[in-house]
Structures are given as C-alpha cells and as structure tokens.
C-alpha cells in the first residue's frame, strides 16, 4: 500500500518541523505549506489524503482557507488551533473540518486524531453491524451489545450512541448532536444532551464519573473513543 500523504499548512517553522518528524516517523509522506495560498495550491497539485490546517495564518484566516478547500476537497481536514478559541473551533467544525487539536498538543493525541479521521473515511459505509471497542450495534435488528451483553437503550439513547459509534474518534458539536437527534427546533437545548449522555455513560462506562468512551470536550461537544488512546 502506498504511503498516506499529509499536507501541513502552518506558518510556524518549529511546528511544521515537529509535525513533519512525528508524522514521517509514523509512516506518512509529508508536504508542507507556510501560507494559506500556498496550502491551497499544494492541496490542489498533490491531492493529499489528509490536511492539517492551522487556523492562525499570516495571509488569510484559516477559516477562509477551510472554506475554499471544502469547495472541492473531500478528504479529512484537521484544524490546529490555540487554546481558548472554542468559538473558532466550533465555526471550523461547522464548516466541514473533521476534527481539531489545540496547541500545545501531545504527539500521541495528534497521531490518534489523524488515524481516526483516516479510519472513518475508509470505513465501509454499507455495513449493518458497527463494532467499536466494547460496543456492537446491529443497525438492522436495532440491538446493542456492550462487552457481549445485551444493552437496553431508549430510542434517544440508541440514536445518540449510533451517532457516536459511526463517528468514532471524531468530535461532535453540541449543535450537530442536537440537530441530528432532536431536530432543528432543539438547537439550544443542551441540557437534553447532558441528561442523555449521562444516562448513556451510566449504561456503557465502567465508571461513569471517569468516562473512557464518551468524552466531554469543554465548550465544544463530545467525542466517542473506542480504546483509551494515550
């Protein structure tokens, strides 16, 4: 199999270097770009399998670059952002970014995110049985197994868990989950989400207070992970 190709768009040389070394050592072929314009042109010519995009670029905002890329680029785009910019991150996710990571990041986490986004795209979409960590969902029979045991879920819990499992490893914003599960009229009712996530955790987590699968991303949303990464 050919090496997967990654494009890094970041204006800071240290970060480009660090990302290149880490990704190359993990078996990726790496392209880099220093500006938004260069990034777009490299993306067009090299057609990388995944793009890591820094939101703070000198020539144009990362959000602009993301918008332009998303007009034709369908592969995963991961956002790199500084901390405390939840608004920007949510904006980027709503514009079609697949995931995000904040600086400073742990390299293990970065690789996990990159792999997860890659896995999602190569996942067989037609499968009727989803397996993720301890969870097995039979979409046709609408049954859920957790560690081999039959799990009794309400309709909403089932819907929510299915979304989580399908998007394993990816952050899902509050807005997205509310729209998908409850519909457009419930976009601001995050308390519903809190309650149902709490219920789901009590059913699938070993210790609901220290969740290993349904993780909270403060101010942004939730992320389902199958194995404890890191």
Token pair recorded at residue 100 = 């995000």
CA angle 56, 60, 61 (to 5 degrees): 45
Toward another protein, which CB reaches closer, 136 or 156? 156
Q: Could you tell me the smallest distance in angstroms from the CB atom of residue 203 to another protein?
A: 14
CB of 190 to another protein, least distance (A): 5
* Contacting residues for 75 by C-beta, under 8 A, at least 6 apart: 48, 49, 50, 51, 121
Select 20 or 173, whichever has its Cβ closest to another protein: 173
Name the residues that contact another protein, by CB under 8 A.
Answer: 83-84, 86-87, 104, 154-157, 174, 190-192, 194-196, 198, 209-210, 216, 218-219
Nearer Cβ to another protein (7/80): 80
User: Which residues, 6 or more positions from 206, have their beta carbon under 8 angstroms from its beta carbon?
Assistant: 212
CB of 152 to another protein, least distance (A): 13
- CB 100, min distance to another protein, A: 14
Decide: 38 and 12 in contact? Cβ < 8 Å.
no
Rounded-to-integer distance, Cα 181 and Cα 102, Å: 28
Nearer Cβ to another protein (77/181): 181
Minimal CA–CA distance to 43: which of 18, 70, 19?
70
Least CB distance to another protein at residue 197 (A): 9
Structural Rg of the chain based on CA atoms? 18
In the complex, the smallest distance separating the C-beta of residue 219 from another protein, rounded to whole angstroms, is: 5
Q: Both tokens of residue 162? A: 């299915």
Kindly tell me which of 16 and 174 has the beta carbon lying closer to another protein. 174
Among 88, 94, 117, CA closest to 23: 117
Q: Where are the beta strands (DSSP E) in 34-178?
A: 50-54, 77-82, 99-103, 129-132, 135-138, 143-146, 149-151, 171-173
> By C-beta, is 20 or 199 nearer to another protein?
199
């Amino acid at each position: 199999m050919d090496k997967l190709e990654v494009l890094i768009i970041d204006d800071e040389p240290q970060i480009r270097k660090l990302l290149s070394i880490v990704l190359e050592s993990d078996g990726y072929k790496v392209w880099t770009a220093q500006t938004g314009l260069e990034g777009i042109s490299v993306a067009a010519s090299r057609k990388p399998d995944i793009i890591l995009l820094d939101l703070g670029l000198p020539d144009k905002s990362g959000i602009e670059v993301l918008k332009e890329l998303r007009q034709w680029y369908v592969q995963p785009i991961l956002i790199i952002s500084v901390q405390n910019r939840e608004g920007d991150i949510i904006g980027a996710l709503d514009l079609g970014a697949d995931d995000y990571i904040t600086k400073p990041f742990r390299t293990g986490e970065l690789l996990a995110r990159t792999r997860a986004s890659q896995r999602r795209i190569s996942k067989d979409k037609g499968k009727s049985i989803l397996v993720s960590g301890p969870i097995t969902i039979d979409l046709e029979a609408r049954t859920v197994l957790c560690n081999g045991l039959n799990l009794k879920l309400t309709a909403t819990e089932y819907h929510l868990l299915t979304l989580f499992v399908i998007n394993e490893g990816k952050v899902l914003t509050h807005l997205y989950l509310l729209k998908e599960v409850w519909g457009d009229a419930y976009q601001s009712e995050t308390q519903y989400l809190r309650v149902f996530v709490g219920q789901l955790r009590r059913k699938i987590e070993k210790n609901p207070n220290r969740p290993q699968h349904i993780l909270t991303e403060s101010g942004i949303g939730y992320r389902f992970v199958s194995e404890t990464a890191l």
